[in-house]
Structure 1
Amino acid sequence: MDDIRTMNATDETLTRRRWLILAVICLINLCAGSIYAWSVLASAAAAHFTAELGTTVTPGDLSIAFGVANAVGPIPMILGGAVNDRFGPRAVIMGGGLLIGLGLVLCGMAASPNSITLAYGGCFGLGLGLTYGACITTAIRYFPDRRGMAGGIVTAAYGMSSVLVPPVAQRLIEVVGIMNTFMVLGCVFGAVIMTGALACRRCPPDFVPVGMEQVRSARAASGKTWREMLASPIFYPMIVLLLCGALSGMMIISQAASIAKTSIGMGPAAAAAAVSVIALFNMAGRMAAGMLSDRLGRLAVLMGALVLSACGLGVLMTAGTGDDASFYLGCVLVGLSFGAFMAIYPGFTADRFGTAHASVNYGIMFCGFAAAGFGGPTLMREMQAVGMDFEACCMMALGFCAAGLMTALVCRIMMKTSEG
């Protein structure tokens, strides 16, 4: 009886405290999401190296740093996830914050573009993977009753950086210069993340929020290991679904500004606004889809997101020169859909494979998104390089939406079969 009372008291305390932990995780993710400010930083860094080295350096020359930072993400997510699953998120997030801060500071000391690639792509990228993975899985563990909501809010905070950080970085560049801006951002973001990590305690494996006592008997920290997850037949359609959903969005999002200029005839300001519109609705889609998935089911909302993306691509295909309104509408729909996948998949993965090894499992599942992050922009560039027009590119993206819908149906059938 005493053990039950102690358990109930602990659950009541954590049920209240989890909202504070969620808020701290959002602040951490806001700092980690500073990767979205890379376009501003790269432009200024290219001008700096051009002046310093006496040879032309373009933002495109520095784009490899951004690509590497994104590509290495699953590696620290998986390795750090193993530590997080066993010991908790505090050390993982602190290590991630240290690497993020150090990576930016080293960028401020860089003497060449190659040094930027090593510092940002390597050091910052590794820190980002550690921090992001630990934050996501910690949030969904504290909210087993609202995994979609928790995933939506945390990923929305990450996406909010695309709105808040670039103008701050631009102002800093104007005042102190690009190299000092790297150092300032590194010190601030590193300090905030490492301080926030102190509040991120491990969620007890038997935690059940007040109000969910009816499932207390099933509250053990159950779940499949990564080997068991890979042996599970449903893993493969799930990761293909994530790849298809993210790939169709990445094709458009990565090239939105250039598409706005070349296909719609927008000026630089209007094209930049289109990127901001995508960012805002991407963030809104994460919050809305996460909460809806708690009520309607993960697959239902993911399928709706694919339909939404297909509609957006259809609108973009009909948008001609000067048709700014249609272009913005298409961007809104694609942004909402892309955000839905980012918000729902952490909870979706935990639903299917349990929370005991959620950090490692989601790190492996995240490889689908990492592949989309590389494949979407690359496919778009290659199609344009061989002379394919924007309409043909949209048709290709529509094909991925259709493949995603078929894969989602496979997932639904497999889920019903396993439940039956």
Structure 2
Amino acid sequence: MEAEKGRWILILAGLIINIALGAIYAYSIIQIPIKRLFETVYSLKTTATEMQLPFIVFLLMFALMMPLMGKYIEKYGPRKIAILGGIVVGMGWFAASFATSPLSLVILYGVIGGIGVGMVYNCPIVTSGRWFPDKHGLAVGLTLLGFGFSAAITGPLMDFLMVTYGVENSLRILGALYAVMIIVCALVLRFPPAGWTPNRWRPPKVTTKTMTVDFMRNEMVRTRTFYGLWICFTIGTLAGLLAIGVAKPVGLEVAKNIGISEKEISAVLTALVIPFACCNGFGRPLFGWIVDKLKPMRAASISFMLIFLASIAIYLYPASLVFYAIVFAILWLNLGGWLAIAPALTATFFGVRDYARNYGLVFTAYGAGAVIGNLLVGQAKDIFGAYIAAFPYVAVLALLGLLVALVTFKPPKKA
């Protein structure tokens, strides 16, 4: 009974850890102050693409590191890995305060911070799943809510610190804070004893109706379904991560188009990160429900049509704060959606026997989406003078994703 009650503490700990990890989603809040620091203190003229690179590299390192940590979590336990990763996360944010150029920010913040998040990310997820075989989806979903909602908490905090203490001191405070949050909460992470099951719960019986074909990773990569899922996941995360990376800069563009100064609108744009982050958080359970209730193809279709319509709307109405708020809420929602769609479809199409390695490979699409999306929006700003110029390309990619899903989202057959 003690374990039965105590396991809920692990959900809370995992949620708090994910709030610290998900602070990267508030990057657009700190991007502008850091850009000003480089230009005023270090006399560096920076481009939009250069300022997107730390965000890109952070997410890329996260995506590449995450699947590599599975065997170490099993070998050393989630507590030790999460504590070590928490130290690395804190080091990344703290070290960023010493950056004097976009390149040094890429190394100190992007590489170090991204590696740290990749080390920690799976620790609370795997722990929650082991302790809640009876409520696996709910447990993992609640744990991941912290990542999705993080920007709603960390965004206003970052803005306050930047204004009050300046860029360098703020990054040091944030580094120490995130390290403490992760390390303290990691102390309670542990796997259940061998053979433990929740009170009065029995594993469901496997029947011919519930039996699915399990694909090992080397078998999965031989299927067309895998490549279709990888491409669709890339496009879905591309749109969302692009929107997260430039949420505030695009808002400033829209404000400028209607004659509102940065000073007048800055606080409003920072406040809008809160509902955007809530949409990101709610996207996970919402699209998870859609995948469960409808066919996988329909979930992907809904997502891609929303991305298409949102991208066209912001391009056609670049002088409307209402459209800006709606469009970015939709794009943040869809990022959360694909972080539910992709793992669900990985299990549906390829089974659970080799799920950890299978989804680890599928998750590299998240890194690809971060790179392509943020390079696209950075180049749009540098070439056309406006971030909004990237959105017609996003709309075309959404239609491509819809077509790929239509052709490939079918149960694969073993060779």
TM class by smaller structure = 0.7 to 0.9
Query: Matched residues in 1 for 2:187 and 2:225: separation?
Result: 37
CA contact (8 A) 2:52 2:374 kept: no
Alignment deviations for residues 59-81 of structure 1 (CA, whole Å, 9 cap, x no partner): 95554333221221123212212
Residues 185 and 145 (structure 1 numbering): CA distance in 2 closer, same or farther, change over 3 Å?
A: same
Question: How does 1:50-65 map onto structure 2 within 5 Å?
Answer: 53=42, 55-56=43-44, 63-65=52-54
Match of 1:186 in 2: 175
Match of 1:70 in 2: 59
Unmatched runs of 5 consecutive residues or more in structure 1: 1-11
Q: Return the match for 2:144 from 117, 133, 155.
A: 155
CA contact (8 A) 1:46 1:59 kept: no
SS in 1 for 2:204: helix
Match of 1:362 in 2: 359
Query: Matched residues in 2 for 1:243 and 1:33: separation?
Result: 19
For the pair 1:171 / 2:168, whether they are aligned, the reply is: no
CA contact (8 A) 2:254 2:321 kept: no
CA contact (8 A) 1:299 1:412 kept: yes
Question: How does 1:285-296 map onto structure 2 within 5 Å?
Answer: 285-296=283-294
Deviation, structure 1 residue 85: 4.2
Question: How does 1:150-299 map onto structure 2 within 5 Å?
Answer: 150-202=139-191, 213=202, 215=204, 225-262=216-253, 265-266=257-258, 267=260, 268=262, 269=265, 271-272=269-270, 275-296=273-294
Residues 297 and 354 (structure 1 numbering): CA distance in 2 closer, same or farther, change over 3 Å?
A: same
Residues 185 and 280 (structure 1 numbering): CA distance in 2 closer, same or farther, change over 3 Å?
A: same
SS in 1 for 2:324: helix
Q: Return the match for 1:338 from 330, 335, 340.
A: 335
Residues 59 and 287 (structure 1 numbering): CA distance in 2 closer, same or farther, change over 3 Å?
A: farther
Match of 1:27 in 2: 16
Deviation, structure 1 residue 298: 5.3
Query: Matched residues in 2 for 1:288 and 1:96: separation?
Result: 30
Query: Matched residues in 2 for 1:302 and 1:140: separation?
Result: 25
Unmatched runs of 5 consecutive residues or more in structure 2: none
Alignment deviations for residues 262-304 of structure 1 (CA, whole Å, 9 cap, x no partner): 4572533155555554333222222433345445465543432
Q: Partner amino acid for 1:409?
A: L
Match of 1:83 in 2: 72
Match of 1:304 in 2: 302
CA contact (8 A) 1:100 1:124 kept: yes
**What is the percent sequence identity of the aligned residues?**
24
TM-score (normalizing by structure 1): 0.79
Q: Partner amino acid for 2:12?
A: A
Structure 1 vs Structure 2 CA RMSD: 3.8
CA contact (8 A) 2:380 2:390 kept: yes
CA contact (8 A) 2:96 2:171 kept: yes
Query: Matched residues in 2 for 1:114 and 1:137: separation?
Result: 34
Q: Return the match for 1:373 from 370, 374, 378.
A: 370
SS in 1 for 2:221: helix
Match of 1:4 in 2: none
CA contact (8 A) 2:57 2:371 kept: no
Deviation, structure 1 residue 127: 0.3
TM-score (normalizing by structure 2): 0.80
